[in-house]
């Protein structure tokens, strides 16, 4: 019989070891909970214990939450409610043990894993980049259901606890220490000893949340203010598309006002409905697709070269500096090249600022920030790259300068080095043309800002070899990012499907739709910002350049919004210049009326029927995604969904463009697109692949599975 939890005795100390068999991480499966209950029977009756230490047998991993594979197999509420109530009882029993308990956390303690640690008297965390603590259930459309909605605010303070519950943001070990989530942070080799010493000392717990906690959270009026502010935030940010945040607030409010039993009762009542609901099923599907892609990348990584070799970054601009800092953060030695001393100095300054900010926020120890910055060596000429295992070019988005730089750097590299370009539109095959080893050349399309965006497109051109792809996947995974392999072509996948979305926003504006209405429709459709705001953030000059590149490849189907050139000629490039579609020079951004006049926007406002703007924006992206699948730019619908959500902010609650179309049904999607094509133009004509699904009554994800 497989053992998930085992008990070890060391004198008057008990060690409870989590060790889910056959998996790299511990999950709170039904089997683990059953064994934990039996172990609690023994612990409750043991009268010779001075303390209990909770540890994981997994290297650099403490525990995760519910077993998502088990959840996916459940389609009725009752088993879910029983699992939640069983887990809640077990954690209450653990919390009420007569002797102190301490969790020794090395690696990820997420979801139910952190809820179990929160039920301990003390928590000690290893000072290691692998250590992270959080309750990310909201990102899966769920709520923490094993007491997390009351234990986390009780531990770190109500205001901070609500923020962590509603964002799902994980904390590094030092961040967790600063907010009181853990009691100590120590080097990994002394983690076990530090937890034992903490059990022996039994220090008093510090007050959660500081003075503000006593002014607000400890009295009914203050609590009401905090929850009212949180509800306004949820309404503003979720747009009503996500049922999990309101459920989290309801459980947290019940726990804050009525105690743990009241809070857990609401958790149990809400969990099943969320888990079986459409938003959660789609979000979990996205997570599982991302995890499956990571597993595939990991298989390739086993055949790749050592993962921490020298990385060369060519170009010290905003993107180049971001890539250099990310590589150094992943413990690569980095050589950062720029021919201009001033640009190189600015790039190094950006890297230093990134590490300094991480140290200020407690995500890095100050000495670690200095060590990581010291891993970046500046270079003014393309020499000294002989030891580089991978180089990433990140200069201006123009073909000939990129080709010239790659031709100059290739002779400096070892024969096995991988050459990558961080381009968003230029065909990688053209960049590889003329190089001696085109089989080593591919694209690595990072997204801005590099330190925040989780996706990297790994672009394979016809000559790229399997080993180069494996090395690139290993590198991207080592950065903590999600790679999606796409085929070479103008715009690859993400830029290609983003362009019609932005172009449609431009068409609507130029036809007379109010700028405010276009942006509002984008947000109401579920995108993080409106499309005109996104154009300002990207840079109108950059977007126009990308549109022209795609128009050269796809013709009339990707028309260039040429009036945008008037804004570029006037120096109105978006946020970076202070003015674009919006004016950013005041305290708050506002629609720039002069920009609308420059564009020739009709003075008479025009509003399409309700919901049509949002429909046109969503379908503009989704229909191009289908064309990319038809052409093999993406290998599978799951890849297209993951890339669209992680790279472009396609509404996560829709699950990605392919799950969005599946939810409508292919026949209904074809009918809607035909109507849009008749009213808004041939760009909305249904692709042949979608028509085939409509004729057969099939769905993208049914076929892909």
pLDDT per residue as tens digits for the range 560-606: 888 999 999 999 999 999 999 999 998 899 999 999 999 998 877 77
8 A C-beta contact, residue 99 and residue 78 = no
Residue 449 vs residues 317, 456, 679, 696: alpha-carbon distances, Å: 12, 12, 37, 42
**84-98, 217-231, 585-599 — which one is most confidently predicted on average?**
84-98
Confidence of residue 307 (pLDDT cuts 50, 70, 90): low
DSSP 512: T
Going by C-beta distance under 8 Å and a sequence separation of 6 or more, which residues neighbour residue 144?
A: 111, 112, 115, 135, 137, 152, 165, 248, 267
Position 541 pLDDT exceeds 70 = yes
CATH superfamily of the domain spanning 5-276 = 2-enoyl-CoA Hydratase; Chain A, domain 1 (3.90.226.10)
Give 700's Cβ-side CA count (13 Å radius): 31
Q: What are phi and psi of 569, to 5 degrees?
A: -60, -30
pLDDT per residue as tens digits for the range 313-355: 999 999 999 999 999 999 999 999 999 999 999 999 999 999 9
Average pLDDT over residues 156-163: 93
Give the pLDDT of residue 468: 96
8 A C-beta contact, residue 482 and residue 294 = yes
Average pLDDT over residues 296-310: 56
Position 205 pLDDT exceeds 80 = no
Q: What are phi and psi of 675, to 5 degrees?
A: -65, -40
What residues are paired with 9 via a beta bridge?
Answer: 14
Position 293 pLDDT exceeds 70 = no
Report the distance separating Cα 318 and Cα 2, nearest Å: 51
What is the CATH code for 307-487?
3.40.50.720
Going by C-beta distance under 8 Å and a sequence separation of 6 or more, which residues neighbour residue 667?
A: 694, 697
Confidence of residue 301 (pLDDT cuts 50, 70, 90): very low
Give the pLDDT of residue 180: 93
What residues are paired with 110 via a beta bridge?
Answer: 134
Confidence of residue 83 (pLDDT cuts 50, 70, 90): very high
Report the distance separating Cα 261 and Cα 263, nearest Å: 5
Crossing angle for the helix pair 158-167 and 148-156, nearest 10 degrees?
130
The DSSP string of 275-315 is HHSHHHHHHHHHHHHHHHHHHHHHHHHTTSPPTT-EEEEE-
Average pLDDT, the chain: 92
Give the pLDDT of residue 362: 83
Per the listing, tokens 């715009």 go with 491
Give the pLDDT of residue 303: 46
SS3 label, residue 614? helix
Q: Tell me the pairing of strands 101-105 and 122-126.
A: parallel
Give the pLDDT of residue 216: 66
Give the pLDDT of residue 315: 97
Of the given ranges (20-24, 246-250, 430-434), which has the lowest mean pLDDT? 20-24
Give the pLDDT of residue 3: 86
Give the pLDDT of residue 213: 65
- Is 651 buried (19+), middle (13-18) or exposed (0-12) by CB count in 10 A? buried
Position 90 pLDDT exceeds 60 = yes
Position 705 pLDDT exceeds 60 = no
Q: Of residues 457, 504, 594, 624, which has the active-site annotation?
A: 457
What is the CATH code for 492-705?
1.10.1040.50
Give the pLDDT of residue 305: 47
Going by C-beta distance under 8 Å and a sequence separation of 6 or more, which residues neighbour residue 192?
A: 53, 55, 104
Give the pLDDT of residue 129: 86
Q: Tell me the pairing of strands 388-393 and 310-314.
A: parallel
Domain extents in the chain: 5-276, 307-487, 492-705
pTM of the model: 0.89
The percent of residues above 70 in pLDDT, for the chain, comes to 96
Give the pLDDT of residue 645: 96
Report the distance separating Cα 631 and Cα 638, nearest Å: 15
pLDDT per residue as tens digits for the range 624-657: 999 999 999 999 999 999 999 999 999 999 999 9
Active site residue 400: no
Largest CA distance in the chain: 84
- Tell me how crowded residue 475 is: count the other CB atoms within 10 A of its CB: 29
Average pLDDT over residues 504-510: 92
Report the distance separating Cα 171 and Cα 132, nearest Å: 5
Give the pLDDT of residue 384: 86
Average pLDDT over residues 176-187: 95
Average pLDDT over residues 539-564: 88
Report the distance separating Cα 557 and Cα 631, nearest Å: 15
Name the residue among 438, 488, 479 with its Cα closest to residue 461.
488
């Amino acid at each position: 019989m497989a053992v998930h939890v085992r008990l070890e005795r060391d004198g008057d100390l008990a060690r409870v070891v989590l060790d889910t068999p056959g998996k790299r991480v511990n999950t709170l499966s039904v089997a683990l909970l059953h064994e934990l209950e039996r172990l609690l029977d023994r612990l409750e009756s043991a009268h010779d214990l001075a303390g209990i230490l909770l540890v994981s047998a997994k290297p650099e991993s403490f525990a995760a939450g519910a077993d998502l594979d088990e959840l996916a197999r459940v389609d009725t509420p009752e088993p879910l409610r029983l699992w939640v109530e069983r887990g809640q009882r077990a954690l209450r029993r653990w919390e009420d043990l007569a002797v102190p308990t301490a969790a020794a956390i090395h690696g990820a303690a997420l979801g139910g894993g952190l809820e179990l640690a929160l039920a301990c008297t003390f928590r000690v965390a290893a000072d290691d980049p692998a250590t992270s603590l959080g309750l990310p259930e909201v990102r899966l459309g769920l709520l923490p259901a094993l007491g997390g909605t009351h234990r986390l605010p009780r531990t770190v303070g109500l205001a901070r606890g609500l923020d962590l519950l509603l964002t799902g943001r994980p904390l590094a070990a030092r961040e967790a220490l600063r907010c009181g989530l853990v009691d100590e942070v120590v080097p990994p080799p002394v983690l076990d000893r530090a937890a034992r010493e903490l059990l022996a000392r039994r220090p008093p717990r510090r007050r959660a949340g500081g003075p503000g906690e006593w002014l607000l959270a400890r009295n009914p009026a203050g609590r009401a203010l905090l929850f009212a502010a949180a509800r306004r935030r949820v309404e503003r940010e979720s747009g009503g598309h996500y049922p999990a945040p309101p459920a989290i607030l309801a459980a947290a409010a019940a726990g804050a006002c009525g105690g743990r039993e009241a809070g857990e009762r609401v958790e149990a009542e809400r969990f099943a409905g969320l888990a079986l609901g459409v938003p959660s099923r789609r979000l979990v599907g996205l997570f599982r697709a991302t995890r499956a892609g990571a597993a595939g990348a990991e298989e390739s990584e086993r055949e790749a070269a050592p993962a921490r070799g020298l990385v060369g970054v060519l170009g010290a601009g905003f993107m180049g500096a971001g890539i250099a800092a990310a590589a150094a953060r992943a413990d690569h030695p980095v050589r950062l090249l720029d021919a201009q001393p001033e640009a190189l100095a600015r790039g190094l300054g950006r890297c230093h600022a990134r590490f300094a900010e991480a140290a200020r926020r407690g995500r890095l120890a100050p000495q670690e920030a200095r060590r990581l910055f010291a891993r970046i060596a500046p270079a003014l000429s393309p020499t000294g790259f002989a030891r580089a295992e991978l180089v990433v070019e990140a200069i201006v988005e123009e073909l000939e300068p990129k080709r010239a730089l790659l031709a100059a750097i290739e002779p400096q590299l070892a024969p096995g080095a991988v050459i990558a370009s961080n381009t968003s539109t230029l065909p990688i095959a053209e960049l590889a043309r003329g190089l001696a080893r085109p089989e080593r050349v591919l694209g690595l399309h990072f997204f801005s800002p590099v330190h925040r965006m989780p996706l990297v497109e790994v672009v394979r051109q016809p000559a790229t070899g399997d080993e180069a792809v494996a090395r690139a996947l290993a590198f991207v995974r080592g950065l903590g990012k999600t790679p999606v392999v796409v085929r070479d072509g103008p715009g690859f996948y993400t830029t290609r499907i983003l362009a019609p979305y932005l172009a449609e926003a431009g068409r609507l504006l130029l036809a007379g739709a109010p700028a405010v209405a276009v942006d509002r429709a984008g947000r109401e459709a579920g995108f993080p910002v409106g499309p005109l705001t996104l154009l300002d953030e990207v840079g109108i000059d950059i977007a126009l350049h990308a549109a022209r590149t795609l128009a050269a490849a796809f013709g009339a189907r990707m028309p260039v919004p040429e009036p945008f050139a008037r804004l570029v000629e006037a120096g109105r490039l978006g946020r970076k210049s202070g003015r674009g579609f919006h004016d950013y020079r005041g305290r708050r951004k506002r629609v720039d009326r002069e920009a609308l006049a420059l564009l020739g926007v009709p003075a008479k406002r025009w509003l399409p029927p309700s919901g049509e703007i949002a429909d046109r924006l969503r379908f503009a992206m989704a229909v191009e995604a289908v064309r990319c699948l038809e052409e093999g730019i993406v290998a599978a619908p799951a890849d297209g969904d993951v890339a669209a959500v992680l790279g472009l902010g396609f509404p996560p609650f829709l699950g990605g463009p392919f799950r969005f179309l599946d939810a409508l049904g292919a026949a209904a999607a074809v009918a809607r697109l035909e109507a849009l094509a008749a009213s808004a133009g041939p760009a909305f004509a249904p692709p042949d692949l979608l028509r085939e699904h409509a004729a057969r009554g099939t769905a993208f994800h049914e076929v892909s599975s």
